[in-house]
Amino acid sequence: MNLSAAVDNPTVTNIQNTYVVESFEKYLFQMAFCMYESSFTYSESTSSSVCSHPEKNKKENCGTCPYYRDTVEERMDFINQMAESYGIKKAWFSDQAHFFCYNASYAFEINVGEGYSAHFYCDDNELWKQVRSLLGVFPNFFSYLSSFENERDGKESGDMYERCASFNRYGDLSKFITDLDLLQATGDGGVYISNEDNYDIAVYLETCYASFDEVKPFIVFLATQICELDNAVQRFHRKKRIKKNGRGYVSLPSPTGTYRIDYSQSMEDNPAPQEEKSDFILAYIYMEEKNQISFNYWCTTENSEFDVVFEYKENKFFMRSYGIIDNIPDNWEE
């Protein structure tokens, strides 16, 4: 792998100087996405070279076929337009040759760098069976995913978007399970602390540092703290800014597949408050280390998510990271 220049976000190329990814930041997130894809139960792939039919532009179905487009730009424009027309949102780390998309039900990527290839991942056997025959067929693939999303969204409570970003949005303690005896582990490795009909928040147990019985008391205590912790997340969103012009992305040593920036070197001092509301809602809580919890937030308007990590010490919670922003100090609000 080669980098184009010693700048904050260089283009990534291979040893033959062939384009790989348009920025190093996106390259890191694309590598992390590949690791994420391996967690799904079912997968399907397809690939094809560019169509070489001599009369391809005259064929009736060429308008809905990405294979006849000769350049990377033309093929990606086709994919973007087709996805947008069916309401399929691409992930922010997509680039001029790679289209990434993921949500709670599936993940897929489309690569148009050399011809065309697509890879789809999910845990739903029925969804997988349907997509297998559609993965290389347009516009059917996007059309099916769009109808699948509409059907799924219709089953969800209508107040999901109303929960987006107002303080104390998780303030009704009666909607949380605070009785030890009522906590029930689910078949997918989680335990709801607020049922699907209420706030729909679960603690993920499969990667928990201790057994379910051992952490039950802390889970019940945590349920009583969700509202204030979420308020802190929203205050951070409104008050904090990364320095402009690339000066704020001061990276930290990170494990393979992750990217972190340092809070003290990357954030503006006392920026003007941002009144824009967050489009994210709390979905999962992870307890992979003792005295540390991670809030997993899902976006309600596009395929995006991020984590917020809190440390529990001296009977208090302290925010330690917000998305890629790490090393947040105890007194960040002062």
Structural contact between residues 104 and 155, judged by C-beta atoms closer than 8 angstroms: no
Q: Looking at residues 307-332, what average pLDDT do you find?
A: 92
Q: Which residue has the higher pLDDT, 195 or 254?
A: 195
Q: What is the pLDDT of residues 205-239, one digit of tens each?
A: 988 999 999 999 999 999 999 988 998 998 888 87
For 32-41, 118-127, 153-162, 192-201, which range has the lowest pLDDT when averaged over its residues?
A: 153-162
Whole-number average pLDDT of the chain: 79
The whole-angstrom separation of Cα 149 and Cα 151 is 5
Name the pLDDT band for 60 (thresholds 50, 70, 90).
Answer: very low
Q: What is the pLDDT of residues 248-261, one digit of tens each?
A: 677 777 776 678 88
Provide CB contacts within 8 A for 137, sequence distance 6+: none
Q: What is the pLDDT of residues 11-33, one digit of tens each?
A: 545 444 554 566 777 888 888 88
Q: Looking at residues 54-80, what average pLDDT do you find?
A: 63
For 25-34, 263-272, 278-287, which range has the lowest pLDDT when averaged over its residues?
A: 263-272
Provide CB contacts within 8 A for 288, sequence distance 6+: 207, 208, 209, 294
Pick the most confident of 55-59, 113-117, 195-199, 277-281.
195-199
Q: Where are the domains of the chain?
A: 2-155, 161-326
Considering the entire predicted model, what is its pTM? 0.51
For 61-70, 80-89, 116-125, 221-230, which range has the lowest pLDDT when averaged over its residues?
A: 61-70
